[in-house]
Chain A
Amino acid sequence: MKVLEIKKVRRYFGGIKAVENFSLDVEEGAIVGLIGPNGAGKSTLFNCVAGVFPPTAGEIVFLGERTAGLKPWDLCRRGLARTFQIVKPFASRSVLYNVMVGAFAGTARRSEAERRALEVLERLRMVKIKDARAGNLTIADRKRLEIARALATRPRLLLLDEVMAGLRPTEVDEMVAIIKGLRDSGMTIFVIEHIMRAIMALSDRIAVLHFGSKIAEGTPQEIARDERVIKAYLGEDYGAA
């Protein structure tokens, strides 16, 4: 079953074509990677999918329903959660409080929200720091908090926007293990990432965005060999090699 269908989506900002005719299907239970150089339009595409702004043209279907007109909070309640590339913790509050905000998407009862939040923190091994102020966390913990809050909404599809940027190699390995664990529990994951080692290890399929257009799609092995991808990343001179 297709969890997410992106059909010929364009997004223009004035005269700038941030995303041009992008199509992609995300199958249930898959980890799909989205890569591309800086400014390729990856985050713009995520914002369209998450309902932050509508696509200029084209349509997005989530769990069989067209998402036109749905706002981020509507999509969240239908099972779509996301993290932000630039983390946005509720800085003055505790880690537990932050995660409970997400948990309230599925329940109005405080005790139930707290139980769900603790469950997520347990899973991400963050229980030790549950009472820490979110604004005082290290960058690695802030990235994990982004994921924890999103998970607390109990999503079917999780959009991860560069959750590994700025992490040390051991922390990246840990994050890869966490994300694989999520997939194994039945979640579908769509992930933007710059760290090649991580995206190659994680993804079942990868799509490559370059100047707003999809230039390649395939398994990690296919992408690693693709001529156009190598050119896009390393420049024309390396393409012939």
Chain B
Amino acid sequence: MLPSRARKLPLVLVALAAFGLPLVVTSATYLHILILLFLYAYLTTSWNLVGGFAGVLPLGHAAFVGIGAYTSTILSLQYGVSPWIGMFAGALIAAVVGVIIGLPTFKMRGAYFALATIAFAEGIRVMFENIDHLGPFQINGPRGLQIPPLKTGLVHFMFADKEPYYYIILVMLAAVLALTWAISRSKLGFYLVAGGEEPEAAQALGVNVARAKLAAMAMSSFLTALAGTFWAQFTLYIHPKSVMSLDISFEIAFIALIGGRGSIAGPVLGALLLRPVSDFSRIYFGDTLPGLHLIIFGVVLVLVMLFQPRGLQEPLTRFYQQAMRRLSGGREAAP
């Protein structure tokens, strides 16, 4: 059931538009907003492997962002290792931590699982806030780490302009979307959905539900940590409140729930909708009404859960498919 050429075309157009956007958008502010939008779309897509397909609600993914950011930054500051290498070192550590967190918590259901993941992530953040050294590694507690912008260029993962960051995160987003699409169609994808919906039935059909979830968790935390390194190189300053805060975990969950958990398009749609709300409310109401965006998120979430419990991707996908069918002369049957 490969998408036909007619259905691929809009995807290609969107991708081309995304790659061409910096030619039109020259304002650094807007580019910054777009970069964060893609970053959150990327984070939510990575989260979706566990939170969407496996049907649980992890609320501690900020820990993996932090692990990625700190690992590559420490390796680069203290040992001169390129952040590109540190990126994957951080991802591997995050995957191990993800599995360690998953082992006991996947036995819990519903809110208990969500609470346990918050506890683990907060534990890691509080630890980072309260110690200056982790073994031989300098982490500076709440003051965090500053990356001096000495050497720019692709090798150093550091640029004077925003465009290169834009293209890097865009490529990362495209890659993670392709990966989740492939996983959703694979044996693992089927097993995650089955184990999430009816674990007992899934087990009787040969699914080792716990193992499938752990595999998803390892991949999800690995991918999330990659974005942590991007975050560090983009902002050049990390501290526990910035890259490990609960706000990140919550915003990911908001985006996923509103966009549509367990679908490929959901995280991107959610980020497209919510990121501008959060950025513009901070620009215009940052002084008078800080936190306004969270109230708006809450209201939107309630409305979406009431009227479209499977997220905004569902009506939009239906609309898209109808439009496609009309364009292709009604020859294509509904999938």
Instruction: Give the chain A neighbours of B191 by CB distance below 8 A.
Output: 101, 104
Write out the residue numbers on chain A whose beta carbons fall within 8 Å of the beta carbon of B190: 97, 100-101, 104, 113
Number of A-B contacts (CB under 8 A): 71
Q: Given A82-B204, A93-B197, A100-B190, 18 more contacts at CB 8 Å?
A: A71-B203, A71-B208, A73-B204, A84-B200, A84-B204, A90-B194, A90-B197, A91-B197, A91-B198, A101-B190, A101-B194, A101-B207, A104-B206, A113-B187, A149-B205, A150-B205, A152-B205, A153-B206
B5 at the interface (CB under 8 A from A): no
Contact flags B178-211 to A (C-beta < 8 A → 1, else 0): 0000000111001101100110111111111000
Measured between beta carbons, the chain B residues less than 8 angstroms from A88 are 198, 200-201
Chain A residues lying within 8 Å of B186, measured Cβ to Cβ, are: 110
Show the binding face of A for B, using Cβ within 8 Å: 50, 52, 71-73, 76-77, 81-82, 84, 88-93, 97, 100-102, 104-105, 108, 110, 113, 131, 149-150, 152-153
Asked, given contacts A101-B194, A104-B187, A110-B187, whether A84 binds B201 with beta carbons under 8 Å apart, the answer is yes
Smallest beta-carbon distance B2→chain A, Å: 11
Is A81 in contact with B204, judged by CB distance below 8 angstroms?
Answer: yes
What are 17 A-to-B residue pairs whose CB atoms are below 8 Å?
Answer: A73-B204, A81-B204, A84-B200, A88-B198, A88-B200, A90-B193, A101-B190, A101-B191, A101-B207, A102-B205, A102-B206, A104-B190, A105-B205, A113-B187, A149-B201, A149-B205, A150-B205
Enumerate chain B interface residues (CB-CB to A < 8 A).
185-187, 190-191, 193-194, 197-198, 200-208, 335
Residues of A within 8 A of B201 (CB): 84, 88-90, 149
B203 touches A72 (CB 8 A): yes
Contacts of A92 in B (CB 8 A): 197
Of the listed residues B197, B200, B207, the one surrounded by the most CB atoms of chain A closer than 10 A to its CB is B197
Nearest-neighbor residue (CB-CB) of B189 within chain A = A110
Q: A41 to nearest B CB, angstroms? A: 19
Cα–Cα, bound, A100→B184 (Å): 13
A191 and B156 CA atoms in complex are apart in Å by 66
User: Residue of A at shortest CB range from B185?
Assistant: A110
CA distance A53 to B107 in the complex (A): 16
Q: Is the CB of B198 within 8 A of A105?
A: no
Rank and list the top 9 A-B pairs by shortest CB-CB distance, nearest first.
Answer: A105-B206, A88-B201, A76-B206, A72-B203, A88-B198, A101-B194, A90-B197, A102-B205, A104-B187
Contacts of A89 in B (CB 8 A): 198, 201
Identify which of B200, B201, B207 gathers the most chain A CB atoms within 10 Å of its CB: B201
- B186, B202, B205, B335, most chain A CB atoms within 10 A: B205
